[in-house]
Homo-oligomer: A and B are copies of this chain.
Amino acid sequence: MDLDRASPIPLYFQIAQRLERLIVEGELRPGSRLENEIALADRLSVSRPTIRRAIQDLVDKGLVVRRRGIGTQVVHGRITRGIELTSLFDDLQRSGRKPETRVLEHRVTDADQRLAETLSVASGSPILHVRRLRLAAGTPIAIMENWLPAEFTDLSSADIQEHGLYQLLRARGVTIRVAKQRIGARIATDTEARQLGVQRNSALVTMDRTAFDSSGTAVEYGHHCYRSDLYSFEVTLVEK
Contact = CB atoms under 8 A, between A and B. Distances in A.
B228 A184 contact: yes
Identical copies in the complex:
2
Given A186-B228, A203-B203, A85 B238 contact: yes
Contacts of A118: 77
A109 interface: no
Contact of A185 (B62, B203, B212): B203
A76 interface: yes
Interface in A8-53: 30-31, 49
A214 interface: yes
A90 to B, nearest CB: 13
A237 B80 contact: no
A142 interface: no
A216 interface: yes
Contacts of A139: none
A234 interface: yes
Contacts of A236: 178-181
Nearest to A210: B77
Given A31-B217, A215-B31, A216-B31, A237 B85 contact: yes
A135 interface: no
Nearest to A200: B201
